Amino acid sequence: MTSSVIHSIAVILILLGAPMTLCGAAEGADCLNYGPAVVTLTGKITARTTFGPPNYGEDPAHDRREKYWYLTLDAPICVNGNGLDDPEMQSEFNVRTLQIVFDNVYPTDGGWIGHRASITGTLFHQITAHHHTRVLIAASRTVRVP
């Protein structure tokens, strides 16, 4: 092979690889992290009822109905995974809605559904059939915002 052919191949490889590398680095740098990192996210709180045990919708006549709260974000986020094949730590991109997990008690004052809120907590990945979004937030503080 001549040096001009090798040079041309090198340029093509650099041009093909560089955009993917730059894009991946930019996404990772701007992405949030799963717990124990603490984050604060803002959006609108909504509620949805879904099927629960025993069959999570496969037998609607006998499956329990469960109500969950969600935060529809003002802007989409991405979350860094751990780079391993760990289903509980997968990278996620373009996340617009998160299921909110409260520590056994939903806020009862002020009528939250349909209102904007700022939620502080830790992010974790969908693990069980009770988790209805790819990424969830375990809320430690919830504040209504205008």
Same domain, 12 and 36: no
Amino acid 21: pLDDT: 32
Residue in 121, 119, 122, 118 with CA at minimum distance from that of residue 88: 122
Same domain, 80 and 108: yes
Amino acid 103: pLDDT: 82
Instruction: Map tokens 């803002």 to a residue.
Output: 42
pLDDT in tens, the chain (146 residues): 554 444 444 433 333 343 333 333 334 568 999 999 999 999 999 999 988 889 888 999 999 998 899 999 999 999 999 877 787 889 999 999 999 999 867 776 668 899 999 999 999 999 988 899 999 999 999 999 98
Amino acid 26: pLDDT: 39
Q: How many domains does the chain have?
A: 2
In this structure, which long-range contacts are made by residues 81-90, counting pairs with CB atoms below 8 Å and at least 24 apart in sequence?
81/34, 87/125, 87/127, 88/124, 88/125, 88/127, 89/34, 89/125, 90/125, 90/134
Same domain, 105 and 72: yes
Same domain, 49 and 114: yes
Say how many Å lie between the first and final Cα of the chain, rounded.
67
Same domain, 116 and 54: yes
Same domain, 86 and 111: yes
* Domain CATH code at residue 133: 2.40.50
Domain that holds residue 3: 1-30
pTM for this prediction: 0.75
Same domain, 82 and 61: yes
Same domain, 69 and 23: no
Amino acid identity for residue 137 in this structure: I
Same domain, 24 and 37: no
